[in-house]
C-alpha cells in the first residue's frame, strides 16, 4: 500500500470518527427524514472540477459538519501536490460548473486585506487544517445577495449542494483544485 493511500485512509478514518461524535446528538432525525440540525458536507478536490478545468496532479479533501443550532461549521481541509505555492482557500457559493463569490475563508498566505484578520495560514506545500466557522466568519458573497454574517443562508446553500471549496495557488490564481460540496 502506498504512503499516499495510507495517509488518505488515515484522514478518512479520523473524519468518520469526528463526524460520528458530532452527529451523535442529532436525536435520530437523519433516519426519520426530518430536517436535521447537524449535517455533513464533503468534497474531493481536483483540477478537473475548476472552471475552467486546470491540469494538475494536486488533490484534496474537504469535510465539514454544519450545526444550524450552534451556528458553527467545523471543517477539515487536506491537500497535497499543488503545482504552485498555495495562496488561499475558501468556500464559495455557486452551483456545479459555475464560479461564485467567497462565503468564508479557510486559510490564506496573503496579506490582510483581502484576507480577514485572524485567518489561519495555509500549510505549504500541502497539509491538513481544521477550523470552525461562525456567523462572524461569513463574508457573503454580498454580490450574490448574501449579507455578511448570514450564517443561515450559507448553511442552506451548503445543505442544497450550492457551494464548493477551492484552493488557489501561484500557478492557478483562480483556483488549482476545487470540489462541489454535497
CATH of the domain at 67: 2.60.40
> Among 33-47, 54-68, 152-166, whose mean pLDDT is lowest?
33-47
Which residue range forms the structural domain that includes residue 75? 3-180
Structure confidence at residue 35 (pLDDT): 62
Would you say residue 21 has pLDDT above 70? no
Sorted by sequence, the CB contacts under 8 Å of residue 163 that are 6+ apart come out as: 41, 91, 92, 93, 94, 100, 103, 154, 157, 180, 181
> Among 31-35, 86-90, 154-158, 171-175, whose mean pLDDT is lowest?
31-35
Mean pLDDT of 139-145: 97
Number of domains in the chain: 1
Amino acid at each position: 500500500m502506498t504512503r499516499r493511500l495510507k495517509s488518505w485512509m488515515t484522514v478518512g478514518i479520523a473524519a468518520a470518527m469526528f463526524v460520528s461524535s458530532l452527529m451523535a446528538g442529532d436525536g435520530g432525525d437523519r433516519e426519520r427524514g426530518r430536517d436535521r440540525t447537524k449535517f455533513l458536507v464533503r468534497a474531493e478536490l481536483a483540477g478537473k472540477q475548476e472552471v475552467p478545468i486546470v491540469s494538475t496532479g494536486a488533490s484534496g479533501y474537504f469535510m465539514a459538519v454544519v450545526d444550524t443550532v450552534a451556528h458553527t461549521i467545523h471543517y477539515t481541509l487536506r491537500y497535497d501536490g499543488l503545482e504552485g505555492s498555495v495562496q488561499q482557500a475558501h468556500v464559495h457559493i455557486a452551483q456545479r460548473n459555475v464560479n461564485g463569490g467567497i462565503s468564508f475563508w479557510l486559510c490564506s498566505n496573503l496579506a490582510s486585506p483581502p484576507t480577514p484578520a485572524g485567518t489561519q495560514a495555509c500549510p505549504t506545500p500541502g497539509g491538513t487544517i481544521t477550523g470552525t466557522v461562525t456567523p462572524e466568519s461569513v463574508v457573503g458573497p454580498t454580490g450574490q445577495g448574501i449579507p455578511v454574517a448570514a450564517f443561515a443562508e450559507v448553511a442552506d446553500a451548503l445543505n442544497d449542494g450550492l457551494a464548493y471549496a477551492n484552493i488557489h495557488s501561484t500557478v492557478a490564481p483562480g483556483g488549482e483544485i476545487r470540489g462541489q460540496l454535497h
